[in-house]
Amino acid sequence: MMAKVVMRIILLKYQNIYMMNIIIFQVETVLLKD
């Protein structure tokens, strides 16, 4: 059971980092266009 909880926490953290990378990438592309 603990393994499932740990995996879920790791996946949530990974998803948050992935989303942040997408947001940062979009911001950088907008800044480069200007």
| Domain extents in the chain | 1-29
- Is pTM beyond 0.75 here? no
Per-residue b or e along 1-11, where b marks 16 or more CB atoms closer than 10 Å to that residue's CB = eeeeeeeeeee
- The structure tokens listed for 30 are 């907008």
* pLDDT for position 33: 82
Residues 1-34 pLDDT 10s:
789 999 999 999 999 999 999 999 999 999 888 6
Long-range contacts of 12-15 (CB under 8 A, 24+ apart): none
Residue 1 DSSP symbol: -
- The structure tokens listed for 26 are 């979009």
* pLDDT for position 8: 96
What is the rounded distance in angstroms from the CA atom of residue 25 to the CA atom of residue 17?
12
What is the rounded distance in angstroms from the CA atom of residue 16 to the CA atom of residue 4?
18
